[in-house]
Structure 1
Amino acid sequence: MIKNLTLTYNEYSDWNKVPKENLNLIQKAKEAREFAYAKYSEFKVGAAILLDNGIVITGNNQENAAYPSGLCAERTAIFYAIANYPTATIVKMAVVAGKNVENSEVVAPCGACRQVLLEYENRQNKPIEFMFTGMQGRVISFSRCSDLLPFCFDGSLL
């Protein structure tokens, strides 16, 4: 039996079309990207998280010569947020990625980051809005992270 899977998301043709509140978070992610340690791949990623207490947490990818000892920007930001604000709820997250400033391809999160996002969304029992983009151009926005990983593994399976 063949079944279809439908995903719902917003796609903005460029950053100027994004609601101001979300654009501010995207700008914070872009700023965080500049401090990424991407010595080997030169592929820099920045992430910004808005917590329910109004605090914005940023993170960036951290590479290491001993692959895969580095860490993605998304997980760097999430782990910092939860470690330092354990009672806060993650409201939304933006990720900006690209090898150079001309990159206009949207860059989706890796599988490990999707799994971590899903875990924290389930943990807080509230959706986390998630946006990703390149250095310019289109922005993809999901109203909840679970849509990024439709056939997921979670604690209910243990």
Structure 2
Amino acid sequence: MKEVKIESTLYVYDDLNETPDDVVALMAKAIEARDKAYAPYSKFHVGTAILLDNNEIITGSNQENASYPSGLCAERTAIYYAGAKYPEAKIVRMAITAGSKVKTTLSPIPPCGACRQSIAEYEVKQDSPIEIYFMGETGKVAKSNSLANLLPLGFDKSAL
């Protein structure tokens, strides 16, 4: 038997103002999207903004349903729309922000597992990394240079 160690690298900024100006602008779009979330059950609002290589910005927010599995996360709302509207464009960067109507979220909130798998599909499809910035309502901002940092040992088409 052999031990295998898996490491991920994230970069953490103390607040949004420490990030590059283009990230601040993209996160502002994600915050606007978060404000449009439909989350009457969880009271947890998420917004995502995606920068494509054609300079288009696509946004999405979480959309809940009384039948919980029928809802959709902000990341998948945005990424699927980007794939449908601009199928040839590559995703350069994603900005994600999450906030609760019950308590203040100060820590970076990463994508859920289903969203990580969906982002991984596009990263594999485009054969280039997707830079991901994520935060709560305020406070620290985490950056991953690739989805692979958030989902090591990912499942993709090579297994099929």
Which residue of 2 is the match for residue 87 of structure 1?
88
State the distance in 2 between where 1:66 and 1:9 align. Answer: 35
Show the 5 A alignment for 1:7-156. 7-100=8-101, 102-156=104-158
State the distance in 2 between where 1:24 and 1:102 align. Answer: 22
C-alpha displacement of 1:98? 1.3
SS in 2 for 1:7: coil
C-alpha displacement of 1:2? 3.1
Segments of structure 2 that go 5 or more residues without pairing to the other structure are: none
SS in 2 for 1:95: strand
1:120-158 Cα shifts (integer Å, max 9, x gaps): 000011111011100111011011111111011111111
SS in 1 for 2:93: strand
State the distance in 2 between where 1:9 and 1:110 align. Answer: 16
- Aligned AA (1:66): S
- Aligned AA (2:153): F
C-alpha displacement of 1:6? 1.7
SS in 1 for 2:24: helix
C-alpha displacement of 1:3? 3.0
Segments of structure 1 that go 5 or more residues without pairing to the other structure are: none
C-alpha displacement of 1:4? 2.2
SS in 2 for 1:149: coil
Root-mean-square deviation (CA), in Å?
1.1
State the distance in 1 between where 2:68 and 2:140 align. Answer: 30
Q: Which region of structure 1 is more displaced relative to structure 2, 11-20 or 92-101? A: 92-101
1:8-43 Cα shifts (integer Å, max 9, x gaps): 121101111111111111111011000000010110
